[in-house]
Chains A and B, each alone.
Chain A
Amino acid sequence: MTVMSRNDLLLFLGFTVVVLAMPIWLHPFGAAYPDLLQRFMIYGIFAVGFNILFGLTGYLSFGHAAFFGVGSYAAVWSFKLLSLDAIPAMIFAIVISGLFALIIGYVSLRRSGIYFSILTLAFAQMSYNLAYSVLTPITNGETGLQLTLNDPRYLDRAMFEAAPGQPVPTLLGQSLGGFAGFYFCAGFLILAFFIAQRITSSPFGMMLKGIKSNQTRMNYTGFNTKPYTLAAFVISGMYAGLAGALLAVTDPLAGAERMQWTASGEVVLMTILGGAGTLVGPVIGAWLIKYFENIFSAINENILHRFFDFLPDGVDNVLVAISSKFVGEGWFLTLGLVFVLIVVFLPGGIMEGVRRIAHLFDRSRRSPTKPGKATPHPQPAE
């Protein structure tokens, strides 16, 4: 295994610190409660995984929510059949969603471009429709799959008596509610980030980037690109399955709506918003979307009235009437607008914005020392 470069190591350490300290630094933003933090972690993993496929190889999958949903179902089934412990559930979910991704990827990757997007979309919609109709014995249809008191749980029953009360997922006997659940998910996010980082800087990752920039040329140089894209697809499907399983661990209820194509669209939005092809970007995108979803959808007209209180009465009402269209129920409108603006003006997402700003500072700091080289058009003398 190659040694990590200093920059990679710094990035990884920085990321770890930021994630673990989230309950502290998110406190002033009003987001430091476990439920939301867990979702930050889960969707972060989902987006990191999606980015391994889309960001590195350029294949735009519109059906990733299927793997997310399959991961959830697999985890809940593991809770029901095997044990309430989270570890077997995670392993089971990753294996199942990996197999699922292998089958779908093998078929879909025979085509590329928009055909690939449509194929993945078709498979995801099929899974969604089946989960609602024929597969109800497995998925429990619209009600969603839940834990019940008289689930078999063979492993648990073999070892000890069932605890009384509503079954909840645990980790080696420890409950996973609240901040324990957050740190459990955070551990997985950090691990997921680490693996993604290693993949990106490995020869395998270089191969994937080569496929993105010119697949034909890769084929001409003698590489069979199919196994590489398939591997990326399966890995990213396993990431989605892991995220789905974590969602089932924190809230043991799996519903088919997780597999709908809007859910697939959401992870695409997260990745693009943050910056596809970068490591940190998708995570930031996921955090921002989940954060604003939470904040914006909680705002109602009363809060707006208080916010615009300092203005004269008429102006106040007009502003509230306008802005109330963008918050609460209408938060998707804001999301759509922001998204359009990002794609039009900043196709690289937030990370490209950061890079541009950094570049700007870099130049302005460097230009006084090396005036001739940095600026091709020297400023006129004053």
Chain B
Amino acid sequence: MFEVIFLQFLNGLDKGAAYALIALGLTLVFGTLGVVNFAHGALFMLGAFCAVMFRQLLTLETVTLDPEKLSPWGAPLEIREPLVQAWFGDFGAVLVNYSVPASIIITIPIMLLVGIALERGIIKHFYKRPHAEQILVTFGLAIVAQEVIKSFFGPNPIPQPMPTDLRGAADIGAFLGMQANVITYPIWRLIYFLFSFVIIGGVFAFLQFTTFGMVVRAGMADRETVGLLGINIDRRFTIMFGLAAVVAGLAGVMYTPLLPPNYHIGMDFLVLSFVVVVVGGMGSLPGAVAAGFLLGILQSFASMTQVKALIPGIDQIIIYLVAVVILLVLPRGLFGRRGVMEA
């Protein structure tokens, strides 16, 4: 019995990690700029498509016709030669194999640029407007981003293979000193979980231990005073928006092998992440992370056949149900601060 519960717990971790990463970015934006960003899911999706694009670039091929050899039906045989391998040899092959993790390198600058452009271009004008209008404009932006991606990459999911070395499952049970082959867990999910841990830790460390992070935290607490001290808080908040975009993008990149991305993957995650943010408490970073993992794990438990037999359909609604209960019982969410988005 313990093994079953432990396995479900593990199963919830990777989804929980994705929720936590998206919710973290949402909360960063909300806590700093006070903007309810419905386009955050689209940033997750854009990150995932950075990985797709990177792989498509890596696997560009030259097609030459070989006049010597003929295919069985008499046409000249095509020779396909991947450009990267032609140029870099073995290193190129490794690069193609590891295209998903490698695309992190291009994702970071792209998402930073996208985030800053978005903030400076449009969201900047919405600080003082009501939350309803912020929701609406970012919702419109999300539709635009989605449709642009759809027109370039098509409507179908594009599977991204994980690196060959990282396929298969790890025997976690044996590692923890239990019976072998009872608790096995796909390696990539484990990596995703660890990756999210590194990112979350990095963001917290950045906010906690750097001068920049200190100023940002001060600005979150009292923006006006920080501005009066002669600090250009707006510019720092813009960079925080970029950082939130990077976090969402990286979450998207690493998730591609688990779920082939299509253009509305962001929307699917966005609705859930908003629920996560609200459950954790608007504006609370630890709350967002905790609620992300909590809901991911709860969802995984609700998908157990025993639970489903007990309460049919519970796996479909558990997250929303928890959100409704928490919102009604704890008006500020799990870790919400007093005075932030109350009422």
Contacts and interface: CB of A to CB of B under 8 A. Distances in A.
Contacts of A125: 271, 317, 320
Interface string B301-343: 0000000000011001100110110011001000000000101
A336 B320 contact: no
B278 interface: yes
Nearest to B139: A265
A113 B131 contact: yes
Given A60-B135, A122-B275, A261-B271, A340 B317 contact: no
B137 A340 contact: yes
B316 A133 contact: yes
Contacts of B317: 125-126, 129-130
Given A60-B135, A115-B331, A121-B271, 9 more contacts: A117-B135, A118-B275, A119-B324, A125-B320, A130-B316, A268-B139, A330-B151, A347-B129, A347-B133
Contacts of B148: 333
Contacts of B125: 344
Contacts of B36: 114
A332 interface: yes
A126 B341 CA distance: 25
A340 B147 contact: no
A111 B343 CA distance: 6
Interface string B112-131: 00000000001001000101
Given A111-B331, A114-B135, A336-B140, A129 B147 contact: no
Which of A107, A121, A126 counts the most B-chain CB atoms under 10 A from its CB?
Answer: A126
A32 B28 CA distance: 50
The residue in B142, B143, B267, B282 that gathers the most chain A C-beta atoms within 10 A of its C-beta is: B143
19 contacts: A107-B324, A111-B327, A113-B343, A119-B327, A123-B320, A123-B324, A125-B317, A130-B317, A133-B316, A265-B139, A329-B151, A329-B155, A332-B146, A333-B148, A336-B142, A336-B147, A339-B136, A340-B122, A340-B140
Contacts, number: 113
A122 B140 CA distance: 20
A336 B271 contact: no
A114 B313 contact: no
A217 interface: no
A157 interface: no
B132 interface: yes
Nearest to A334: B147
B144 interface: yes
Contacts of B150: 329-330
Interface string A297-341: 000000000000000000000000000010001101101110110
A343 B316 contact: no
Residue with the greatest number of chain A CB neighbours at <10 A, chosen from B147, B274, B331? B147
A110 interface: yes
B151 A325 contact: yes
A134 B311 CA distance: 10
Interface string B275-297: 10010001000000000000000
Contacts of A121: 271, 274-275
Contacts of A130: 313, 316-317
Secondary structure call for the B interface:
helix
Contact of B147 (A117, A123, A132, A333): A333
B170 interface: no
User: Which 9 A-B pairs have CB atoms at the shortest separation, nearest pair first?
Assistant: A134-B313, A336-B143, A333-B147, A129-B316, A340-B140, A122-B320, A339-B140, A336-B144, A343-B137
Nearest to A54: B132
Nearest to A118: B278
Contacts of A268: 136, 139
Contacts of A332: 143, 146-147
Contacts of B129: 347
B93 interface: no
Interface string A335-359: 1110110011001000000000000
A58 interface: yes
A61 B275 CA distance: 15
B343 A112 contact: yes
B274 A134 contact: no
B133 A110 contact: no
A217 B166 CA distance: 61
